[in-house]
Amino acid sequence: MSSKPVMRRIVCAQCEQPESRCWCEKFCVLCQSQMGIRLCTDGLLYCEACRTACDYHTVDWQGPTTDY
Ligand SMILES: [Zn+2]
Ligand SMILES: [Zn+2]
């Protein structure tokens, strides 16, 4: 088995489309807000406040490579 990290394509958990093609009604899974909703790396939608509070990242987040 390859040990290379897989660039997993993150898709909407509801429609299984990437964010650019997702036409779902977007609201935060935590607080039901509709402000600043983005698809995050776990395939769920979060508002900016919840992303910040819970340290979630949007799918296009290009942070340091995971090292844990
Ligand atoms: Zn969707
Ligand atoms: Zn929220």
Number of compact structural domains in the chain: 1
68 part of a folded domain: no
Helix H or strand E segment including 48: helix 48-54
Structure-token pair, residue 42: 């776990």
Q: What pLDDT, on the 0 to 100 scale, is given for residue 9?
A: 83
Q: What pLDDT, on the 0 to 100 scale, is given for residue 51?
A: 96
Protein residues with C-beta less than 5 angstroms from the ion ligand 2:
28, 30-31, 33, 47, 50
Q: What pLDDT, on the 0 to 100 scale, is given for residue 56?
A: 94
Give percent of the chain above pLDDT 90.
57
65 part of a folded domain: no
* 2 vs 63, more confident: 63
Single out the residue of 47, 52, 44 nearest to residue 19, CA to CA.
44
User: How far, in Å, is the centroid of ligand 2 from the Cα of 33?
Assistant: 5
41 part of a folded domain: yes
Owning domain of residue 37: 9-60
41: alpha, beta or left, given left = phi > 0 and alpha = psi -120 to 50? Answer: alpha
Q: Which ligand is nearest to the CA of 37?
A: 2
Question: Above 80 in pLDDT, residue 1?
Answer: no
User: How far, in Å, is the centroid of ligand 1 from the Cα of 11?
Assistant: 8
Give the global pTM: 0.73
Structure-token pair, residue 59: 């799918």
